[in-house]
Structure 1
Amino acid sequence: MQVNYYAGAAAAAGTAAESVDAAGLTLGALKERLGAAHPAVPGQPVLDDVLARSSFLVDGVAVRDDARVLDGAGALDVLPPFAGG
């Protein structure tokens, strides 16, 4: 699965995108895995914190349920809160 990070999520992850194996994972489990894979860097937002406040699109469809299984999904967009919205 391609994980695309935007704005503060990209800063916290240290990358704009990465490929991960999400087979058998729920959205919640993938969020935990991503947070653990990107430890805090001084002066940057902490990815765990950003993920807790972000919205998620799975293959372009908004997903709010951390229990959603990601099998077969091709992309996850991580959208942190943006200024003014």
Structure 2
Amino acid sequence: MQQVTVRYFAGARAAAGVSEESASAGRSLDELTAELVQRHGERLAAVLRVASFLVDGTACHDRRTPLPAGVTIDVLPPFAGG
């Protein structure tokens, strides 16, 4: 089975309970996030609603494009700071 790697940062890591995991490739970011919510619950869903996503280091603006095998998706929640 073809896979993608999902890496969580800051609050996303706390909500997921893991720093990294694998998921099936070939689905869109919207489909992937739905699967991640099923795995980890509403706490992660709240983070994913406001998070930014990088696919192999590039911001993902089209959440319906299929994710190819082997890519890394970084989940970046909003960061506080000043």
Q: Name the one with the larger helix percent.
A: 2
**TM superposition score category, shorter chain reference:** 0.7 to 0.9
Aligned length, in residue pairs: 79
Give the percent of matched residue pairs that are identical in Structure 1 and Structure 2. Answer: 48
CA contact (8 A) 1:59 1:73 kept: no
CA contact (8 A) 1:24 1:71 kept: yes
In the other structure, the counterpart of 2:6 is 3
TM-score normalised to structure 2 length: 0.87
Residues 1:48 and 2:45 aligned together? yes
Q: Cα RMSD (Å) of the superposition? A: 1.4
TM-score normalised to structure 1 length: 0.85
Off by >3 Å, runs of 4+ in structure 1? none
- Runs of at least 5 residues in structure 1 that lack an aligned partner in the other structure: 41-45
Q: Name the one with the larger strand percent.
A: 2
- Runs of at least 5 residues in structure 2 that lack an aligned partner in the other structure: none
In the other structure, the counterpart of 1:31 is 33
